[in-house]
Structure 1
Amino acid sequence: MKTISHLLWILSGFYVVVAVVYTLWTLKDDGFNPEWVGVVTLFLSAAFTAFVAFYLGVENKPFKLRILPEDRLDGEIDEADYELGHFSPWSWWPIVLAASICVVLIGAAVGWWITFFAAPILVVALFGWVFEYYRGVFKH
Structure 2
Amino acid sequence: MKVEAWIFGMATLFFVIVSPAYWLIAGDWTGTSALVMTTLLMAMVTLYLGFHAAKMEPRPEDRNDAEIADGAGELGFFPPYSWWPLWCGAALAVIVYGVALGAWWLMIIGFGLGALTLSGWVFEYYRGEHAH
TM-score normalised by structure 2 residue count: 0.76
2:68 is aligned to 76
CA distance in 1, matches of 2:61, 2:102: 47
Q: How many residues align?
A: 129
State, as a whole percentage, how many aligned pairs show the same letter.
Answer: 29
Q: Which range is displaced more, 125-134 or 74-83?
A: 74-83
Aligned pairs (5 A) from 1:1-140: 1-27=1-27, 35-63=28-56, 66-73=57-64, 74=66, 76=68, 79=71, 82-89=74-81, 91-101=82-92, 103=93, 106-107=96-97, 110-113=100-103, 115-140=107-132
C-alpha spacing 1:67/1:139, structure 2 compared with 1 (3 Å): closer
Letter in 1 for 2:91: S
For residue 25 of structure 2, give the secondary structure of its aligned residue in structure 1.
helix
Gaps of 5+ in 2: none
Deviation at 1:13, TM superposition (A): 1.3
Q: Flag the structure with higher helix content.
A: 2
Instruction: Give the TM-score normalised by structure 1.
Output: 0.72
C-alpha contact 1:15 1:46 (8 A) present in aligned 2 = yes
In structure 1, runs of 5+ residues without a counterpart are: 28-34
